[in-house]
Structure 1
């Protein structure tokens, strides 16, 4: 993932700002145009775990995004 984003690797070879990237993507899902009537939208992030291990780095970050 760090290679694709062209950023230095951080924890578990993920970029150091991976938590920021996840939250930014979720915020962008609800950025609606005022010309289209604004409103709100619900985003349901889905992450695949290995053997149901939700204590890994990425699943815990996704779970903790408000």
Structure 2
């Protein structure tokens, strides 16, 4: 059942990708959400921890990451 939830999360993440005209804050929030999904996958044994960290760094570079909260 947990695998189905992760697939649903990934699908929602894909469908909610910000448009090209999205504000940096909207994009950063999307990257934070992406990082959260990837961290969830990593906790289940997937090799996505580095991808999650990269998503956090991207959000931080846009000014709305973990450190800016």
Higher-Rg structure is 1
Do both share a fold (TM > 0.5)?
no
Higher helix share: 2
State TM-score, norm by structure 1: 0.35
Q: Which has the bigger relative contact order, CA under 8 A and spacing at least 6?
A: 2
